[in-house]
Amino acid sequence: MEEETSKLPLPDTFLDFLQTNGIDPLIYTAIESTPRYIRLKPGSEAYIEEIEAEIKCRLQKVNWLPGFYSLSPHIQIANSKPYKEGKIYGIDAASGAAVLALDISVGDHVLDLCAAPGAKLCMISDLLGDSGTVTGVDVARHRLAACRTMLQKYVLGDACRLFVADGTTFSLMPLRDRLDSISCEFALEEKKDTFTEWTSRRPWKERKRAARAKENAASRLVSETDHPELIFYGKTSGVVGLSKYELYKTVSSSEVSSSGYDKVLVDAECTHDGSIRHIQKFEHWGWETLNGRVLNAERSDNLTTLQVIEILFHCLWLLRVGGSLVYSTCSLTVSQNEDVIEWFLKENSSAALQEIDAAKDWPCKSGRIPKTLRFDPVTSKTSGLFVAKFKKLAV
């Protein structure tokens, strides 16, 4: 997500796309570069000079975003010691803002839908510290596996569960209180078939199941009746000690209003047109491929606007009453942002657009709908990002 440079020779087809979508081409060409951003893992503040010496670059504190620093876009951090040791991770400042919009409080149970590859999930875990839980869901197994690697590298996975699942159907509630989910009958006796502490070396049966799921994912034939595949859980995620029945039990709609998630982030798949770095890749891939990948694609990876709205509907259902839902995309098109939320609000009397309190000092613009926000490279010196926040009302 980190941005690099601009002055791109934008092809006519892309300029037409920008014009059709009311996006100013200057966003891509007006500035020399946007900084690279990193987030310092809490606890690493004392090592800032050491980190600067290792990456051979001064870190500039991002005043509006706690824990974030900017650095020159030309600095490569991937081979540096602090990166390998998990003291810093790359995440664009606009992505950080989408996470802050959730306004995470101690003890929250957070659902990160469309979680992979996981920079936002890491930040959510960081913000939760030792309290609450985070559930990451993504339909792409290989991407979610990368997310698991990140959590393990940054030692942020203790309260985390990762499920391969489709966001239009994922229906598992947070494990608010582990004892809640253990029936007396089970609690009194030694349970069989319970989840023991996570190990990357899975029993043969589970590995076979994972291999089957991988095959299904490859052929995109995900069985509707299959449970979401749990590919990681931490020791305080509530999973350890549960039986499969307990983990996968579903609840009624009336129970969801009190036992649902406190916060949900839907960082939807989009055409990525807000990311200069993504657009830059077409110089290498060939501008002619832009047609198939961005211009003709309503959404990338076949995720249509209708599916995104379906995911939003479903996520609203998964929230407890009074909980918050944040929708973000790295597209700057109205069709993937304001149009989506307009439709969502029209069809949902239990969703109300909310002011993002944390945004007072953020260097961004209002979207076309009041209370929505837009980051772009020129205004914000970040990657392009749209953010909207909703509250679930009792109806």
- Assess 127 for contact with ligand SAM (CB under 6 A): no
Smallest separation, CB 368 to ligand SAM (Å): 21
- Assess 143 for contact with ligand SAM (CB under 6 A): yes
Specify the pairing of strand 261-267 against strand 319-329: parallel
Nearest to 318 by CA among 375, 270, 259, 237: 259
Query: 117 and 145 in contact (C-beta within 8 Å)?
Result: no
Provide the mask over 229-268, with x wherever binding to ligand SAM is found by CB under 6 A and - wherever it is not: --------------------------------------x-
- Assess 315 for contact with ligand SAM (CB under 6 A): no
**SS3 (DSSP) at 385:** strand
Distance (Å, whole) CA 44 – CA 223: 44
- Contact range with ligand SAM by CB under 6 A, out of 72-80, 115-123, 250-258, 319-327: 115-123
Q: Is 330 a catalytic residue?
A: yes
Other Cβ atoms less than 10 A from the Cβ of 394: the count is: 7
- Contact range with ligand SAM by CB under 6 A, out of 56-64, 113-121, 223-231, 353-361: 113-121
- Assess 136 for contact with ligand SAM (CB under 6 A): no
Q: Tell me, by CB under 6 A, how many residues bind ligand SAM.
A: 21
166 known ligand binder: yes
Distance (Å, whole) CA 129 – CA 137: 20
Torsion of CA 234, 235, 236, 238, to 10 degrees: 80
Smallest separation, CB 306 to ligand SAM (Å): 11
Angle between helices 338-347 and 305-318 (to 10 degrees): 50
Query: 227 and 165 in contact (C-beta within 8 Å)?
Result: no
Provide the mask over 164-203, with x wherever binding to ligand SAM is found by CB under 6 A and - wherever it is not: --xxx-----------------------------------
Nearest to 178 by CA among 247, 260, 264: 247
Query: 1 and 275 in contact (C-beta within 8 Å)?
Result: yes
Is 362 exposed, middle or buried, given 0-12, 13-18 or 19+ CB atoms closer than 10 A? buried
Query: What tokens appear for 240 in the block?
Result: 């350890």
- Contact range with ligand SAM by CB under 6 A, out of 31-39, 133-141, 202-210, 283-291: 133-141
138 known ligand binder: yes
- Of 111 and 159, the one with the shorter C-beta distance to ligand SAM is 111
Q: Which of 114, 270, 330, 364 is catalytic?
A: 330
361 known ligand binder: no
- Contact range with ligand SAM by CB under 6 A, out of 27-35, 52-60, 111-119, 286-294: 111-119
Half-sphere exposure of 99 (CA within 13 A, CB side): 25
Per the listing, tokens 């598992």 go with: 172
- Assess 138 for contact with ligand SAM (CB under 6 A): yes
Q: How far is CA 271 from CA 226, 275, 329, in A?
A: 29, 9, 9
Provide the mask over 38-77, with x wherever binding to ligand SAM is found by CB under 6 A and - wherever it is not: ----------------------------------------
Q: Which of 111, 116, 134, 213 binds ligand SAM (CB under 6 A)?
A: 116
- Of 167 and 384, the one with the shorter C-beta distance to ligand SAM is 167
Distance (Å, whole) CA 237 – CA 163: 13
Q: Which residues pair with 40 in a beta bridge?
A: 88
Which residues form the interface with ligand SAM (CB under 6 A)?
A: 95, 114-120, 137-140, 143, 166-168, 267, 269, 301, 303, 307
Residues of the binding site:
138, 166, 267
Positions marked active-site = 330
Residues of the binding site for S-adenosyl-L-methionine:
138, 166, 267
